[in-house]
Amino acid sequence: MEDVAGYLALLDDALDVFPENATFVSGHGRDLDAGGVRAYRDDLKAMVDIVRAGVAAGRTAEQMAQDHVLAAYEPRYSLLSFLTPDTWIPRW
């Protein structure tokens, strides 16, 4: 969970430092404005909550990935075949 927690903190820090009209250029996705980064951060937090609930219920990362518990986020965040929301599950 530390990798994702650090990433969420990085997003918060970037939003604090850069002006509202800044464009954030992604290496693995779409370029975003501050509102887009905020929405991405909020979606990422929601995905973390889903995975944490699964862990609390005794589910493994493999089970959650197999069941595609993050399927609702795949259309927006599966821009590369090897980098889908399911790839984050073991890190939470």
Among 77, 89, 87, CA closest to 36: 77
Residue 83 pLDDT > 80 = no
Entry pTM: 0.83
Domain boundaries, the chain: 2-91
Rounded Cα distance between 59 and 44, Å, is 19
Residue 1 pLDDT > 60 = no
pLDDT band at 2 (very low <50, low <70, confident <90, very high): low
Among 36, 37, 71, CA closest to 51: 71
Top pLDDT among 14 and 92 is at 14
Per-residue pLDDT tens over the stretch 6-53: 889 999 999 999 999 999 998 877 899 999 999 999 999 999 999 999
Q: What are φ and ψ of residue 18, in 5° steps? A: -90, 150
